[in-house]
Structure 1
Amino acid sequence: MSQENNKRNCVRSGTLIVAVLIASLAFACDFFSGRGDTGKAAINQDIGSLLQKAAAATDENEQAKLFGQASLLLSQKGDYKRAVDAARKGRRANPMEVQSLATIGEYYISQRKFAEAQTVLEEAIYADGKSARANYLLGNALYAQKQTGRAQDQYAAALALDPQYTDALYNLAALHASQGRASQALDLLEKAIALKPGFAEPYKNAGIAAEKSGNAKKAKEYYSKYIELNPAGDDVEAVEQWIAKLN
């Protein structure tokens, strides 16, 4: 997804910045525009290899797993058309292949078909309750349907399975923020920052959460760090004004 599309999807709430992205609901507006640390060429090579192996596989379970892995990488690229195609092939080979089900659920979210996403993601969790991705995506589908209590449970489940799942940290922070729980949002954002200290956007959101929690000193520190990491950002002037108001 382009950064421009992300910016169009950003909504300034009364308390915190919350972004509604194509693939999920995320706290940081530009997070998914650069997600994944692997180079594009390497990802494409991995996808090609997985699809080739899947096409040649004679064991249906192995074939399903390979298609599921390919669908995950394609989703990470934002190539949902190819991702869902691979996922459906994986599901045909094994109707309970968890990554394939999760990818189909993510695709439905991208189409704003949240009820359909919920159904298939619940199937994914039934197939493999230890899938952090499926729990996280189900949280997104529920959150989009304003089922905040259940969404919170799913994000918590994803983080219990993978405490370093930054997407879940961001989205659970967004959920807490939407409910006026700025201090809980800040705690989660600080965990995410510790995991990815070079990513700018969470510092701004942490600054907003700190300010709403009554900690002006910490808010200024986070705003300043955001500007340091993102000096050419379109909103730097606005963030500088926020800092000035705290002085």
Structure 2
Amino acid sequence: MFLLPIILGIVCQVALGSWSGPELPGAISNQTTDLSKVGASTGQLSQQPTDFAAEGKRLLEQQDWAGAEAAFRKALLINRQDAKTQNNLGNALAQQGKLVEAIAAFRQATQLDPSLSAAYYNLGYALAQQKDLDASVVAFQQAAKLSPRDADTHYFLGVVLGQQGRYGEAIAAYRRTIELDPDYAEAYGNLGLALAETGRIQEASAALTNARDYFNRQGRSQDAARAEQYLQRIQSQLSE
């Protein structure tokens, strides 16, 4: 077995909070807040939970994981029922390697809002990091149901299925990824490796050739070289 997923870094999905204006995918508020400010006479937080949530998203963008965690926790002190803030707290925790706490936050987010696909996606990723592959598959499958056109969700579902040796299902997930994003080089690479595991060597060779070529077009020479190494190993089987 030589199925080795081509994964670059942790990928977390940030869920948008409540905004006065329209919600735009991936939008980050420019609003800044003083996180130390509390009500002078009552001891209550003087700002709205959306202020702290917006600050947390800004800090996530700056990769200030601990600062983002603190901001999201303050937002949740005011409103514990905000699923998107729970999800983003999980993101901040995961980026610090606090996977047990992150998983708890993601699970809480899914309970508060069962339609929040980003929370299931992040839960699936964190569970995979913890080697809980069965639960990870379930989470990614739910994320895929809620966001059927999200290529990343199908890709990581394929990765976890491949790690379980469920190559037929992994192949289907990678093919769906490529349908949604024809430039997804990692999906071609892992598709090729999964096909090789099932003995479909010619198809595997074609997929890995695509992976190598897409990596080269994207200026990712190291990944292209890795795909080429796998391609040569597979093509050697064709000549035997």
- Higher mean alpha-carbon deviation, 218-227 vs 126-135, is at 218-227
* Rounded Cα–Cα distance in structure 2 between residues aligned with 1:50 and 1:155: 33
The one of 186, 196, 201 aligned to 2:171: 186
More helix by share: 1
The one of 79, 91, 114 aligned to 1:94: 79
Q: Sort the Cα spacing of 1:76 and 1:14 in 2 relative to 1 into closer, same or farther, 3 A.
A: farther
Within-5 A mapping of 1:45-124: 46-49=27-30, 63-65=48-50, 67-68=52-53, 71=56, 75=60, 78=63, 80-124=65-109
| 8 A Cα contact 2:29 2:57, kept in partner | no
The amino acid that maps onto 2:192 is G
1:217 aligns with 2:202: yes
* Rounded Cα–Cα distance in structure 2 between residues aligned with 1:185 and 1:135: 19
* Rounded Cα–Cα distance in structure 2 between residues aligned with 1:76 and 1:182: 36
TM-score normalized with structure 2 length: 0.72
TM-score normalized with structure 1 length: 0.70
Q: Shift of residue 166 of structure 1?
A: 2.6
- Based on CA coordinates, which of the two structures has the bigger radius of gyration? 2
* Partner-residue secondary structure (3-state), 1:17: coil
Alignment length, in residue pairs?
A: 210
Q: Sort the Cα spacing of 1:22 and 1:243 in 2 relative to 1 into closer, same or farther, 3 A.
A: closer
1:146 aligns with 2:94: no
Identity of aligned residues (%): 24
- Higher mean alpha-carbon deviation, 232-241 vs 144-153, is at 232-241
Q: Sort the Cα spacing of 1:235 and 1:82 in 2 relative to 1 into closer, same or farther, 3 A.
A: same
Runs of 5+ in structure 1 lacking a partner?
1-12, 25-31, 36-42, 53-59
* Rounded Cα–Cα distance in structure 2 between residues aligned with 1:73 and 1:202: 31
Runs of 4+ aligned structure 1 residues displaced above 6 Å come to: none
* Rounded Cα–Cα distance in structure 2 between residues aligned with 1:68 and 1:119: 19
Match of 1:240 in 2: 228
What CA RMSD, in Å, does the superposition of the two structures yield over aligned residues? 3.3
